[in-house]
């Protein structure tokens, strides 16, 4: 039976790499897929991995009907055996409903990859709808690590190396950007709660008062 599968995890845990691997495995067996993405770090209409792998994809902007797009492709003689959606957290809830319809009405497997929560620990609307509708939810097994070495569970937005908790939900960035730019970092819950990034932890280690001191 075809399924809507949501592969979720933090940034830097291999979601895009797995998406590319799934596409490769099916293509090697003569299956043809349609890959959708939104706001990939490599640019419009690209699916890229931090390992340097990249492939062409269909950009799925706000307002695009992905179900209608696939119906049109099939009606014009195109072929689609499966669908991959990367950066699925950026899709609108109604687009997630359209993906569910692709599974139910067109009989295609849909593999959606995305981050569950934003830098404020709030659910992305697209991810929330996937949790509500998916036949199966898979947590990525490659664990991203916080700077302290613990398992990273939260995404943090940084400006100049300092964590911020206000601003627009979607600002495209990467974990590999220079510290002075808007970027992202994965943190364990404890350090996300304390707003302690790798940069601020180094600054704190240089402070003569690492722990509270009573100077009475």
| Residues 174 and 183: beta-carbon distance below 8 Å | yes
Task: Say if residue 79 carries a ligand binding annotation.
Answer: no
| Residues 45 and 39: beta-carbon distance below 8 Å | no
Task: Say if residue 87 carries a ligand binding annotation.
Answer: yes
Region of 186 on the Ramachandran plot (φ > 0 left; ψ -120 to 50 alpha; else beta)? beta
Task: Say if residue 86 carries a ligand binding annotation.
Answer: yes
Give 123-148 pLDDT, tens digit per residue.
999 999 999 999 999 987 667 889 99
Quote the CA–CA distance of 169 and 119 in Å, as a whole number: 8
Give 161-185 pLDDT, tens digit per residue.
888 887 776 665 554 555 557 788 8
Burial level of 176, CB count in 10 A (0-12/13-18/19+)? exposed
Query: What is the reported pLDDT for 38?
Result: 87
Quote the CA–CA distance of 175 and 6 in Å, as a whole number: 22
Q: Which of 3, 56, 59, 87 is catalytic?
A: 87
Q: Is 59 part of the annotated catalytic residue set?
A: no
Query: What is the reported pLDDT for 206?
Result: 43
Query: What is the reported pLDDT for 165?
Result: 81
Task: Say if residue 11 carries a ligand binding annotation.
Answer: yes
Residues lower than pLDDT 50 in the chain:
175, 205-213, 216
| Average predicted confidence (pLDDT) for the chain | 85
């Amino acid at each position: 039976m075809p399924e809507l599968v949501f592969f979720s995890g933090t940034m830097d845990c291999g979601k895009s790499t797995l998406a590319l691997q799934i596409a490769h495995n099916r293509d090697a067996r003569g299956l043809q897929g349609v890959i959708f993405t939104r706001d990939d770090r490599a640019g419009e209409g690209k699916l890229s991995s931090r390992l340097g792998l990249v492939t062409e994809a269909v950009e799925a902007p706000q307002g695009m009907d992905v179900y209608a797009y696939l119906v049109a492709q099939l009606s014009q003689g195109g072929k689609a055996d499966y669908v991959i959606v990367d950066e699925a957290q950026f899709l609108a809830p109604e687009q997630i409903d359209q993906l569910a319809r692709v599974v139910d009405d067109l009989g295609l497997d849909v593999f959606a990859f995305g981050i569950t929560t934003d830098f404020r620990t709030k659910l992305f609307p697209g991810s929330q709808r996937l949790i509500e509708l998916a036949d199966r939810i898979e947590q990525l097994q490659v664990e991203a690590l916080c700077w302290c070495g613990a398992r990273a569970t939260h995404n943090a937005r940084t400006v100049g190396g300092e964590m911020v908790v206000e601003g627009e939900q979607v600002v495209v960035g990467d974990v590999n950007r220079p510290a002075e730019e808007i970027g992202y970092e994965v943190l364990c819950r404890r350090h996300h709660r304390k707003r302690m990034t790798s940069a601020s932890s180094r600054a704190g280690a240089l402070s003569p008062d690492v722990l509270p001191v009573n100077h009475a």
